Structure 1
């Protein structure tokens, strides 16, 4: 019974650790989303400044007769579209900060980070997984249930065995006194055998649950590892392509000098803008996959 009590106490601690890990992962994922939206806010801030400059320029040119109303309307529409996207991003920032505040017991959190610190993906999955499995509180909890069940089987088996008692007895009957050794046998009822069968069935169920949980854990982490590996490569390629092929400064110069129309400028700069957003999304997704992959380290 003492062993069972110790195992149950240990499993209670593991259940607490599992819940703690879940909450810490949730907080980390919220922070990752916030870094992403902070980066978006920074990017849209740059775009908004540029769009405002273009709109102001075309308003002045319209007043001077150097541009027509169609060009000016394009500049205004571009400005409005960027303002709308910026407002959406700011709304997400507010919502995520509110969620962090809730997780922090109602205390305000100032979170301005807008870049990810490049995390390291484990080089060898199988080697890393062995360590992760040993640290996973859910797996350890299910293993604990198996051990508890085995101890209960032992206890039930002990309770189902016949019990022998010995002693010394003295008795007086009608003036005569009898003394001698007594021997007693106690035969357990059928209830104890049923309890033993129930305990054995529980062990088998727990062992099945353990194997299923282990398989699910392995499969999920293996999938996350491959996903993170692909996302990491995509993020690196996108950033390299943006660095090598960015032409926003050249496009601005061409627009200001009249070499290209506003429509051509907006179309060309749109390719660059799309690539930057795609890179930010891929980097966020990579961080999220890696966070879930390494949750046991929290």
Structure 2
């Protein structure tokens, strides 16, 4: 009987584990990308822009015109005429505009990639902050438990008249402060979860594992920058805009060529008529004036803008990289110094054994807690800086 109960419990645990899988940051980012309403709306906007661009390359509608002239001083029957014609730009214009539309489509795709990166970077930042808040909550919950134990001991000593009211009040205040810290962290966690729910299209974030493996080393600044040049959506968008502006110059040069019209014409009176083909060309004197120069000036501006923005981004990238390196060095120093000290637990044991007075214990405890909190804050800032450095990989 007991064997069957054990097997049943194990089977239930296996079943629960199979349906309660934790999700890491990458999995949640994929989920947010699929559900984010801003990205969905932007995809619809891109589709509408692409269709509009293609519609600009359509032929104009055919034109049907006719005349019926029954009045006047004439010796024949009423005169009638009708004509159907199709006008169009010079054929090379359509191929040139088609290439320009393709480049504009690529430009829109890079714009979407940039919007996607912004959304995912924001989500990743919130997930990193959430992970460290959950980590901090565990630490503060343990501190709250210790503060309660210290308060209970001081209360017992106070009841025995072995300590004064000042020590009792200080112990109680320390315990109340720790309770407030835990409650504040829980409130901050709920705020972050609400923001993540909005980014996730109104779906709550579930199954997030708070553990984050800190990558101690990143590639060199030049290696990362070359990756960024190849993959960063903002830089790709700049190149796409520059390429499409060059094609716009070619398009405007082709539009200088005359427009063409072809059709069928009928003219006649009763018993006599004429019919045949109609053709015509426009004389490109005014419509294309200064448009080529404007397109060339815009291309020169886009080239200059690409260079300026790229240089500015490189400067910002270097600044972030060197801040990361400096903070990583300091974090390693903190970690090497405090990694194996276990100072708070040792102090607590020493206090419980009576080796420290409450005031001595509290002063020493605050020193080590401040150092521990500083190290945790540095670890979080390292993750946030690394997210900025590697955002081109999103």
TM range (shorter): 0.7 to 0.9
2:214 is the counterpart of 1:118: yes
Alpha-carbon distance in 1 for matches of 2:237, 2:185:
41
Q: CA deviation at 1:55?
A: 0.4
Of 120, 128, 138, 2:234 maps to 138
Higher helix proportion? 1
- 1:14-52 Cα offsets, whole Å, 9 max, x none, are 111110111011110000000111111011011000000
Which structure is larger by alpha-carbon Rg, 1 or 2?
A: 2
2:106 corresponds to 1:10? yes
The alignment status of 1:263 with 2:359, answered yes or no, reads yes
TM-score (norm 1): 0.88
Structure-2 residue corresponding to 1:170: none
Q: Distance in 2 between matches of 1:3 and 1:116?
A: 46
> Cα 1:239–1:131, aligned 2, differ >3 Å: closer, same or farther?
same
Answer yes or no: is 1:249 the counterpart of 2:345: yes
Residue 161 of structure 2 is matched in structure 1 by 65
Specify every segment of 5 or more residues in structure 1 that has no aligned partner in the other structure, as ranges. Answer: 165-183
d(CA) in 1 for partners of 2:350, 2:240: 69
Q: How does 1:12-161 map to 2 (within 5 A)?
A: 12-110=108-206, 113-160=209-256
Q: Distance in 1 between matches of 2:103 and 2:165?
A: 79
2:375 is aligned to: 279
- Give, in whole Å, the separation in 1 of the partners of 2:292 and 2:345: 79
| C-alpha contact 2:324 2:382 (8 A) present in aligned 1 | yes
1:167-191 Cα shifts (integer Å, max 9, x gaps): xxxxxxxxxxxxxxxxx99652143
Contact 1:55 1:76 in 2 (8 A): yes
Native 8 Å contact 1:156 1:193 kept in 2:
no
Query: Any runs of at least 4 consecutive aligned residues in structure 1 with deviations exceeding 3 A, and if so which?
Result: 111-115, 161-164, 184-187
**Residue correspondence of structure 1 range 213-232 to structure 2 within 5 A:** 213-232=309-328
Q: What is the total number of aligned residue pairs between the two structures?
A: 280
**What 5-or-longer segments of structure 2 have no aligned partner?**
1-96, 261-279
Q: CA deviation at 1:100?
A: 1.1
Listed one character per residue, the Cα deviations across residues 196-240 of structure 1 (whole Å, up to 9, x for unaligned) are 111011111211211122112211211111111122222222122
CA distance in 2, matches of 1:142, 1:243: 46
- How far apart are residue 260 of structure 1 and its match? 2.1
Query: For 1:5 and 1:134, how far apart are their aligned partners in 2?
Result: 23
Q: 1:53/1:205 Cα in 2 relative to 1: closer, same or farther (>3 Å)?
A: same
Alignment of 1:190-209 (within 5 A): 190-209=286-305
Is the CA contact 1:242–1:272 (under 8 Å) kept in the aligned structure 2?
A: no
Structure 1 match to 2:44? none
TM-score (norm 2): 0.67
The corresponding residue for 1:290 is 386
- 1:246 and 1:272 in contact (8 A); partners too: no
Cα RMSD, aligned residues only:
2.1
Instruction: Rate the CA distance shift 1:111–1:284 in 2: closer, same or farther, 3 A.
Output: farther
Aligned-partner Cα distance in 1 for 2:285–2:158: 101
**Contact kept? 1:38, 1:113, Cα under 8 Å:** no
Instruction: Return the alpha-carbon distance in structure 2 between the equivalents of residues 252 and 122 of structure 1.
Output: 38
Q: Is the 8 A contact 1:100 1:109 kept in 2?
A: yes
| Cα separation, 1, equivalents of 2:344 and 2:251 | 76
Using the alignment, how far apart are the partners of 1:14 and 1:267 within structure 2? 56
For the Cα contact (< 8 Å) 2:216–2:328, is it kept in 1?
A: no
